[in-house]
């Protein structure tokens, strides 16, 4: 599925129907009184969050959305039928901004959230409403009011329990694929992943949502590489899994490079809980692995997890560790 995380759309609620200027026309009644019904309410445009969506791609080729107009009132005091509301589905994590793309007006944080972004117009009054003791045959009626219309921006920020971060080619997509049913593109070159991928890992009937964030490089916070476009997705992840290729020449440099980019983008990202994982341990001998890991832990003064995405036991062990770091899932 193609990915799109920002789009500008136009929404127009339906106008209200006009009231009716009708008069009774019955046999043997030459001068019937007013019987014009009111106009129906215009349909509103409503955004609704859906769990099975993870992109805004549906809005790439259609940017204009209009709800139905209310029907006009009719004789015999019949109120016009209200216009049908228009529901637009968005992924969880979508934020709605005004046309300036800066003023936040709604944030979809959970499934089935609804937000009325444009309210339908009110129906007009039929002439029955204007009958009085001094005016028995009013011809006056009112038109319905206009429905609201706006240009708005939709921005998607991935929401996941665990965000998998690291340099390009660290094995993030392979990890996501081995832990979940997700099927990300995997190859041995930089920027294989150009969009965030989501997957759900299940262990002992418990679930964790993971996001594979495209590889970050030096200068990402200024837009270099895939840059800022994807750093924003890290903001919504509750815990960060920092994946490092153990075959890198300088593990500390690789680690600090990612941390620096996170900090330059937002200091808040550095305060998130972090799990550090050395990946591709199958490429080293047991002795070389032991030496390299020990040096890394001593310099970093943090506990490190060993991993090979080819080893199911290590994958399950990591799942258990991740579950412990998302206690709201237990």
Q: Which of 75-84, 196-205, 242-251, 257-266 has the lowest mean pLDDT?
A: 196-205
CB 41 within 8 A of CB 120: yes
pLDDT exceeds cutoff 50 at 279:
yes
Q: Between 70 and 168, name the one with better pLDDT.
A: 70
Task: Name the DSSP class of 166.
Answer: -
- In terms of domains, do 244 and 260 share one? yes
- In terms of domains, do 205 and 314 share one? yes
Confidence of residue 225 (pLDDT cuts 50, 70, 90): very low
pLDDT at 30: 61
Tokens 């960060």 correspond to 240
Quote the pTM value. 0.69
Closest CA to 170 of 108, 88, 83, 257: 257
pLDDT exceeds cutoff 70 at 126:
yes
Q: What is the CATH number of the domain that holds 37?
A: 2.70.210.12
**Alpha-carbon dihedral 156, 68, 61, 198, rounded to 10 degrees:** 30
- Quote the domain boundaries for residue 191: 162-329
Structural domains of the chain, count:
2
Please state, in angstroms and as integers, the Cα–Cα distance from residue 10 to each residue in 63, 69, 117, following that order.
6, 16, 11
- In terms of domains, do 264 and 244 share one? yes
């Amino acid at each position: 599925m193609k990915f799109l995380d920002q789009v500008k759309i136009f929404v127009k609620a339906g106008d209200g129907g006009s009231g009716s200027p009708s008069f009774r026309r019955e046999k043997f009644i030459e001068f019937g009184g007013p019987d014009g019904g009111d106009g129906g309410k215009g349909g509103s445009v409503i955004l609704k969050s859906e769990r099975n969506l993870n992109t805004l791609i549906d809005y790439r080729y259609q940017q204009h959305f209009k709800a139905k107009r209310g029907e006009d009132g009719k004789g015999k005091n019949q109120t016009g039928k209200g216009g049908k509301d228009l529901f637009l589905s968005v992924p969880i994590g979508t934020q709605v901004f005004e046309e300036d793309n800066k003023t936040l007006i709604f944030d979809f944080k959970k499934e089935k959230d609804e937000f009325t972004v444009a309210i339908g117009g009110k129906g007009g009054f039929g002439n029955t409403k204007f009958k009085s003791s001094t005016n028995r045959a009013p011809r006056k009626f009112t038109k319905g009011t206009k429905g609201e219309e706006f240009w708005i921006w939709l921005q998607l920020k991935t929401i996941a329990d665990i965000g998998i971060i690291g340099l390009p080619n660290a094995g993030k997509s392979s990890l996501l694929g081995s832990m979940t049913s997700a099927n990300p593109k995997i190859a041995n070159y930089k920027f294989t992943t150009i969009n965030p991928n989501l997957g759900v890992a299940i262990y002992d009937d418990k679930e964790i949502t993971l996001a594979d964030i495209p590889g970050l490089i030096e200068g990402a916070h200024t837009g270099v590489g895939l840059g800022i476009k994807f750093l924003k997705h890290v903001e919504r992840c509750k815990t960060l899994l920092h994946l490092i290729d153990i075959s890198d020449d300088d593990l500390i440099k690789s680690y600090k490079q990612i941390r620096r980019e996170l900090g330059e983008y937002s200091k808040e990202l550095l305060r998130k809980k972090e799990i550090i994982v050395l990946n591709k341990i199958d490429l080293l001998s047991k002795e070389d692995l032991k030496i390299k890991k020990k040096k890394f832990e001593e310099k970093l003064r943090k506990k490190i997890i060993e991993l090979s995405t080819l080893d199911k036991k290590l994958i399950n062990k990591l799942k258990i560790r991740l579950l412990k770091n998302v206690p709201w899932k237990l």
